[in-house]
Structure 1
Amino acid sequence: MENLTVLGTGVLGSQIIFQAAYSGKNVVAYDISQEILDKLPARWEQLKPSYLNDLKDATPEKLDAAVSRIRASADLADAVKDADLVIEAVPERLDIKQSTWEKVSAVAPEKTIFATNSSTLLPSAIAPFTDRPEKFLAMHFANQVWIFNTCEVMGHPGTDPKVFDAAAEFAEQIGMVPIHIHKEQPGYVLNSLLVPFLEAAAKLWMREIASIEDVDKTWRISTGSPMGPFQIYDIVGMMTPYMLNKDSDDPEMKAFADKIKSDFIDKGYLGTSTGRGFYTYG
């Protein structure tokens, strides 16, 4: 599969686009307006220094070549017309994902495999809204894909095993380590481990048990981990924990979401992508 289309150019969508192009794939970046797409060149310039710093084989020439393999389109039919694989990275709401795949199904070629990058939703909840459930599955990427390079591949009971294998092979071709998930699991592997950890940190902060810095320091020193939970929140970005918790049945986590919105999102502090979240970044 040489031709990829990514639906959604937010933090993770743009990373998938750039990583696939860096690995030699032809990539179409789709979003709902040209105004959004016009911001992509600046996003590529933000990513380039990270690749040069974190990857031994990165060079300015290779990064420029990656950009040359990316085409942007706000026309859905145009964006998917040659796609071997479509990866959807739209907001983490089931209704948005379902309606997106209904629209894609109406215009995508028969050959195209469909994948959602959802971090919490199950493929079986979305597959019926496509015209090819046997070619539908999840490919979940971790944030900062060029260094935290796992891709959790999870089908649903109706996914064709050959499609599953093709998706896992594609992930490997773009520098990912494919994680084969054998049964549907909310949160996959990564978030089944990560979400309870981050929630515990949020509650320590909301209860004023310890400062953000001391919570992170405790985790780093005691476990040898390179990052604490609030540093991870900054990498994930503020929108994800807000969307996951704004309607939570847990009053503490709902209050955490409200505080994220008022203290960070409303001020434009979205995490490392904007240079400021729980911490300020140079």
Structure 2
Amino acid sequence: MAIKNVTVAGSGVLGSQIAYQTAYKGFKVVVYDINEDAINKAKDRIKALRHMYKHDIAATDADFEAGLSRISYTWDLAEAVKNADLVIEAIPERPDIKKDFYTKIAKLAPKDAIFTSNSSTLVPSMFMEDTGRPAQFLNMHFANQVWLNNTAEIMGSPKTDPDIYKEIVEFARNIGMIPIQLKKEQPGYILNSLLIPLLSAGEGLWVKGVADPQMIDKTWMAATGAPMGPFAILDVVGIRTAYNITLAQAKNDKDPNAQVLADKLKELLDEGKLGMEAGEGFYHYPNPAYKDPNFLKI
């Protein structure tokens, strides 16, 4: 089956980026979210990508407008998936929400539509039966700033059809991604299996009062030459995503430190400090302190 019509469900930071990148590369895209307010925010997020596409990959205004012209929006789920060849799910990192979503679209999407999840920590076998089409379900995880950090980690379940897997590998290439092909299920895939321990270590130092976020970031950047430390990365990922993952860890593992961290992240959320997308998280944007030439000066 040739993929032509793509539905992206969930229009947060990554969902909006995935939707625009897919449209930019020539596919018709429907963006779905739960209500009109969420859709209006999605439109603003996607329009705000213009500067990055022009600055980072030399896209012209005409190029960017062509991408926009291939996107439509809806908060009607049946309408969103009725013509979908591929549904890319990018909804919150909570198993209960994802299970409910797949149970619903299983009845609404065309029977030959492929479903993929952009989950960063959850494996496809957790949801494959909920989709009603386990052979046509797999995970495709994108990194933030997809136009620059262009990886798509592709992971099937034991029931994923190998031909469907190959089709998604080809789709990833067609939207400008490097297909990272995982041979078996692994929570966290490759990227987050490497990244989350770094972020967790930084968060642990903060929660214990060993150092503040900027000092932790300075240490990592100065000692390794990295362009960002763990808290700058958390701002890019989004504080809400970090909070959802930490809260699930606190509930599942009964880890008191995870609950303390979740509470501290919740305080940031309550203050509207969602990270880079909101203009403030651990840093202020668009000119965060870690990009200041003096940040690492003695």
TM norm structure 2: 0.91
Amino acid at match of 1:54: D
Amino acid at match of 1:281: Y
State the number of aligned residues. 280
After TM superposition, the runs of 4+ consecutive aligned structure 1 residues lying more than 2 A away are 38-41
Contact 2:31 2:71 in 1 (8 A): yes
Partners of 2:40 and 2:208 in 1: CA distance: 42
Give the one of 274, 277, 282 matched to 2:278: 274
Identity, % of aligned positions:
50
Amino acid at match of 1:2: K
Is 2:77 the counterpart of 1:76?
A: yes
- 1:149 paired residue number: 150
Contact 1:37 1:74 in 2 (8 A): yes
Is 2:209 the counterpart of 1:208?
A: yes
SS across alignment from 1:246: helix
SS across alignment from 1:129: coil
Partners of 1:261 and 1:158 in 2: CA distance: 38
Question: Deviation string for 1:95-119 (max 9, x for gaps)?
Answer: 1111111111101112211101111
- 2:5 paired residue number: 3
Unpaired runs of 5+ residues, structure 1, are none
Q: Offset of 1:24 from its aligned partner? A: 1.0
Amino acid at match of 1:17: A
Give the one of 14, 18, 21 matched to 1:19: 21
Contact 2:8 2:32 in 1 (8 A): yes
Partners of 1:225 and 1:24 in 2: CA distance: 34
Partners of 1:80 and 1:246 in 2: CA distance: 31
Q: Offset of 1:47 from its aligned partner? A: 1.2
Partners of 2:177 and 2:57 in 1: CA distance: 14
- 2:141 paired residue number: 140
- 1:130 paired residue number: 131
Q: Offset of 1:210 from its aligned partner? A: 2.1
Partners of 1:232 and 1:159 in 2: CA distance: 32
Matches within 5 A, 1:253-264: 253-262=258-267, 264=268
TM norm structure 1: 0.96
Contact 1:142 1:150 in 2 (8 A): yes
Amino acid at match of 1:232: I
Partners of 1:10 and 1:40 in 2: CA distance: 7
Partners of 1:36 and 1:242 in 2: CA distance: 19
Amino acid at match of 1:88: E
Root-mean-square deviation (CA, aligned residues, Å) is 1.1
Matches within 5 A, 1:39-188: 39-56=41-58, 58-188=59-189
Partners of 1:142 and 1:96 in 2: CA distance: 21
Amino acid at match of 1:14: S
- 1:226 paired residue number: 227
Contact 1:199 1:253 in 2 (8 A): no
Partners of 1:4 and 1:201 in 2: CA distance: 37
SS across alignment from 2:38: helix
Contact 2:12 2:42 in 1 (8 A): no
Q: Offset of 1:45 from its aligned partner? A: 2.3
For structure 1, which segment, 86-95 or 203-212, has the greater mean C-alpha deviation from structure 2 after superposition? 203-212
- 1:241 paired residue number: 242
- 2:289 paired residue number: none
Partners of 1:214 and 1:35 in 2: CA distance: 37
Partners of 1:239 and 1:218 in 2: CA distance: 25
- 2:38 paired residue number: 36
